C-alpha cells in the first residue's frame, strides 16, 4: 500500500506565542517538524512526506526536511481544514495518487513506534483510523462558572494524530465538507463512514503552549540518558 503522510505545518502558533511558529522551534538541536517527519518515516511504512506550510515558508521547510523523502511543499490555508484540503488536492494530482494518507500535526514531534502499523492494519477493514487516549479527568459542563452537570467519561477519548485514511474517501469527504470540522475523522464520520480507534500515547504530545515544548524536551532527554 502506498502511504503518503501530510505534515501539517501551516499554522501560526498563536497560543504558543513565540516569535516564530512552534513547529519551527528547536528541540534537542532539530526543528520540531523535523522530529515529526523522522518519526513518521521511522518504521518504513510511509513512502513520502508531503509538507503543507504557510505562504512564503516553502523554501525553509524544504531545507529543514533535507535528506528525507519529501515532496515539494504545498501552501496551506487559513484553517487547518483548508490546509489539509490543499495537501490532499496536491496528492490527487499525482499519477497515481497514494492508496492511503496519514494526516499529522507538525507540532507533534513524538509518534511512538507501533502507532502507524496499528493504524494501517485498521485500514484493511475501515476507511479511517485514529490514535486516541481515554479521558482520565472527570468532566464538567459549566455555565457562568457553575457546574451544570458532570459528563460521564466512559467511552470518551482524546483524538491524536497521525490519523490514517484511505485516500479516496478522505478526499471526497473534504470536497463535500460544508462546515468546519475539528479533525479529519469528523469529516468521514459526517459522511457516514466508520472510523476505528487504535491506542494513542501520552508521549504523543501536541505542542500548544511553551510548557509542552519543555515537557517533550525533558522526556526525550531522559530517554537519551
Write down the H helix ranges in the chain.
32-41, 58-64, 80-92, 115-122, 167-176, 184-190, 210-224
User: CA-CA distance, 65 to 37, in Å (whole number)?
Assistant: 8
Nearer Cβ to ligand CTP, position 76 or 200? 76
Backbone torsion region of residue 144, taken as left when φ is above 0, otherwise alpha when ψ lies between -120 and 50, otherwise beta: left
Instruction: Give the nearest distance from C-beta 7 to ligand CTP in angstroms.
Output: 8
Nearer Cβ to ligand CTP, position 82 or 99? 82
Instruction: Give the nearest distance from C-beta 21 to ligand CTP in angstroms.
Output: 6
With CA atoms as reference, report the closest residue to 84 among 70, 69, 95, 74: 74
Please check whether residue 21 is in contact with residue 72, taking contact to mean a CB–CB distance below 8 angstroms: no
Chain contacts with ligand CTP (rule: CB under 6 A): 8-16, 21, 23, 52, 76-80, 83, 105-107, 206, 208
Nearer Cβ to ligand CTP, position 52 or 88? 52
Nearer Cβ to ligand CTP, position 10 or 188? 10
Cell numbers that stand for 151 in this block: 459528563
Instruction: Give the nearest distance from C-beta 125 to ligand CTP in angstroms.
Output: 28
Residue nearest to ligand CTP (CB): 11
β-pair partners for 159: 132
Nearer Cβ to ligand CTP, position 79 or 150? 79
Nearer Cβ to ligand CTP, position 126 or 205? 205
22 C-beta neighbours (distance < 10 Å), count: 26
Instruction: Give the nearest distance from C-beta 11 to ligand CTP in angstroms.
Output: 2
Instruction: Give the nearest distance from C-beta 8 to ligand CTP in angstroms.
Output: 4
Instruction: Give the nearest distance from C-beta 14 to ligand CTP in angstroms.
Output: 3
User: CA-CA distance, 122 to 124, in Å (whole number)?
Assistant: 5
34-56 burial: b if 16+ Cβ within 10 Å, else e: bbbbbbbbeeebbbbbbbbbbee
Amino acid at each position: 500500500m502506498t502511504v503518503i503522510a501530510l505534515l501539517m505545518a501551516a499554522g501560526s502558533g498563536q497560543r504558543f506565542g513565540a516569535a516564530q511558529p512552534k513547529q519551527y522551534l528547536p528541540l534537542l538541536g532539530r526543528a520540531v517538524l523535523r522530529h515529526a517527519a523522522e518519526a513518521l518515516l521511522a518504521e518504513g511504512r510511509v513512502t513520502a512526506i508531503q509538507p503543507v506550510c504557510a505562504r512564503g515558508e516553502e523554501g525553509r521547510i524544504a531545507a529543514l526536511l533535507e535528506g528525507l523523502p519529501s515532496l515539494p511543499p504545498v501552501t496551506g490555508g487559513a484553517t487547518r481544514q483548508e490546509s489539509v484540503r490543499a495537501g490532499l488536492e496536491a496528492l490527487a494530482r499525482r499519477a497515481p495518487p497514494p492508496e492511503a494518507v496519514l494526516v499529522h500535526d507538525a507540532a507533534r514531534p513524538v509518534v511512538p513506534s507501533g502507532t502507524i502499523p496499528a493504524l494501517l492494519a485498521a485500514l484493511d477493514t475501515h476507511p479511517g483510523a485514529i490514535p486516541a487516549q481515554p479521558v482520565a479527568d472527570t468532566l464538567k459542563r459549566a455555565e457562568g462558572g457553575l457546574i451544570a452537570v458532570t459528563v460521564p467519561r466512559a467511552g470518551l477519548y482524546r483524538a491524536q494524530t497521525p490519523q490514517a485514511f484511505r485516500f479516496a474517501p478522505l478526499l471526497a469527504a473534504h470536497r463535500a465538507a460544508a462546515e468546519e470540522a475539528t479533525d479529519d475523522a469528523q469529516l468521514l464520520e459526517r459522511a457516514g463512514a466508520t472510523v476505528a480507534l487504535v491506542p494513542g500515547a501520552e508521549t504523543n504530545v501536541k505542542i500548544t503552549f511553551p510548557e509542552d515544548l519543555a515537557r517533550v524536551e525533558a522526556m526525550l532527554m531522559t530517554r537519551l540518558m
